[in-house]
Amino acid sequence: MTELSTEYEDLRKTVRDFAEQVVAPVAAEHDRDHTFPYDVVRQMGDMGLFGLPFPEEYGGMGGDYFALALALEELGRIDQSVAITLEAGVSLGAMPIFRFGTEEQKRELLPDLAAGRALAGFGLTEPGCGSDAGGTATTAKQDGDSWVINGAKQFITNSGTDITRFVTVTAVTGTRPNGGKEISTIIVPNGTPGFTVEPAYNKVGWNASDTHPLSLSDVRVPYGDLLGERGRGYSNFLSILDEGRVAIAALATGAAQGCVDECIKYAKDRKSFGRPIAEYQSVSFAIARMEARAFAARTAYYDAAAKMVAGKPFKKEASIAKMVASEAAMDNARMGTQIHGGYGFMNEYPVARHYRDSKILEVGEGTTEVQLMLIARSLGLPA
């Protein structure tokens, strides 16, 4: 997929205009004050961005995941906090309900999520485990027609906003015949007794994104809040992560391109020794390399997204795209800061925000090392 259809291109332009006219003017303020951009999120909901990949019967826009990826790229150019709010709200919050929920769960929960009136979190990571399912310590025991859940979750996006409706958590629900842990996923509504959203983290970046640790102490929810088949929780969430990696790659591509755009403007205006610094080959070549990284990242996520929407295997391509794009974002942020000199160290400049924000792209939804492991395994290599 090298050229966008008219429909995709119109969406991309619409979101770009929104990002530049609505998101950009308030991005620095929300970043500085560590405040959640409720008004921006409301407007994204009104635009239908949270419903892009969902069918109209559940309140969605009837689009696909590639449409979501395009929106994330354009938002990521301007403000990664806003972009990750959308990414997590769709791919981690609503998508598990759409993929694995019962018809009743979908009709009850998806319309508000697709409209941006509600958000949901994805409770996988714990204080003692992330990619290692065997380390899952949260437990859910059946007690009559209820689950009783105990444990803790870490680094959960969109888990503590005023519009957060629930968090889907992985929990050990039994033992498999081979002695391994049976892991299932259960919907836990916010406000359930014993379910505590702990104080927000003081993060390096993504300051306008909502992220909390969660604790669950004898949390009782109906047995019907099981999401998907019992014992399939972790494998189901892994498939959600494959899709999410394409989304993160799109966001990271936007961040990489945003640094290019800022550096072009700055290099044309900033003068050194009587000349715009864009006239110095060292600067123009550095920006050229940044553009090449963004192009490679975009090509990688377009390829992964095209395979995904066509129903073809895309696991390897998703890992490649996520790794290439996240490294492009970090490398471009570092070089963009260098080109800006002392101004690049000032938070009012977008490259400074990208420099702080981009590092987590190499960690979240599977570290670079996890992506290398998955790529190596796809090649038949031990990893």
User: Among all residues, which ones are annotated catalytic?
Assistant: 365
Nearest alpha-carbon partner for 161 in 126, 113, 127, 232: 113
At 138 the three-state DSSP class reads: coil
DSSP 320-372: HHHHHHHHHHHHHHHHHHHHHGGGGGSTTSHHHHHHHHHGGGGTTTS-HHHHH
Q: Side chain identity at 169, as an amino acid letter?
A: V
- CA dihedral over 358, 158, 370, 131, signed as positive or negative: positive
At 195 the three-state DSSP class reads: strand
Nearest alpha-carbon partner for 205 in 40, 364, 318: 364
Q: Which residues pair with 175 in a beta bridge?
A: 181
Phi first, then psi: what are they for 268, rounded to 5°? -80, -30
CA 103, CA 321: separation in Å to the nearest integer?
Answer: 33
Place of tokens 């005023």: 162
CA 184, CA 100: separation in Å to the nearest integer?
Answer: 12
Nearest alpha-carbon partner for 258 in 284, 293, 285: 293
